[in-house]
Each structure stands twice: as C-alpha cells, then as structure tokens.
Amino acid sequence: MAKIMVVDDNKSIVTTLDVLLRKTGHDVDVAYNGDEFLDKVRDVNPDLVLLDIMMPGLKTREILAKLNDMKLKDLKIILLTAVRMGEDEVKELKTKSNIVDYITKPYDLDDFLARIETALK
C-alpha cells in the first residue's frame, strides 16, 4: 500500500494511528514535532503526511513554508486539528501547499480511513 508519515506531538495519537494504518496495510513512519518531521521527510519520502496543526516548536505555516522550499511537489498532506478552520483559511493553506484535506479531531475512524484512501488516489 502507501507510505504514510504521522506527525503529532501526542504520543498516544501517534501510536494509535501507527497501529491502525499498519493494520490497513500501510507502511508508517512517525515524527513528534516539526523539526523531526523536516529532518526525516526527504529520506522517508512518504506518499501522504498526516500533520497535526497544534504542536510545540515550529508552527504549521513555518513547516509548510519549509516543505515548499524543499520542493517536495508530490507530497500530499492531510492536516489533523482539534480546532475548526474557516473555509477561507483552508483555501488559503491549500493554495500555498500540498494540503489535500483536513480532518478535525476527534474523528470517526471509518470516515478517517476513507479520507486517507481518497487522498492516496
């Protein structure tokens, strides 16, 4: 299946998503903050990144700007957030990066998995 990278500072969320995605046949790598993610992303070369919005350290917009500078054009990103985002904000982020979707926590597992599969197509 696909190579998915989970980026979240909450270790229990990372562990849960790691187990869930492996059970559905995906190869999973993880990072616990933006710096670690940026250090690993080129080597891991994921098909999809599940990126938490609220992490200590680098802010989401900084991470996305650095990804753009790295010229990772084919990298697809789904933002994971506990905060509802406005339509305009989502549109703006999508135009500046490879964001294909955003999922609000807590999420329904069936919907979550369906949206990942849609993003991977």
Task: Report the CATH superfamily, name and number, of domain 3-120.
Answer: Response regulator (3.40.50.2300)
- What are the two backbone dihedrals, phi and then psi, of residue 46, each rounded to the nearest 5 degrees? -75, 155
Stretch among 57-61, 112-116, 117-121 having the lowest mean pLDDT: 57-61
Helices 109-120 and 11-23: angle between axes, nearest 10 degrees: 70
**Residue 33 clears pLDDT 80, i.e. is over it:** yes
Q: Residue 106 CB: number of other CB atoms within 10 A?
A: 8
What span, in angstroms and rounded, lies between the C-alpha atoms of 96 and 103? 18
Global confidence as pTM: 0.91
Q: What is the mean pLDDT of residues 98-110?
A: 90
What span, in angstroms and rounded, lies between the C-alpha atoms of 20 and 119? 17
Q: What is the mean pLDDT of residues 5-29?
A: 96
**pLDDT value, residue 79:** 93
* CA geometry: angle 29, 30, 31, nearest 5 deg: 140
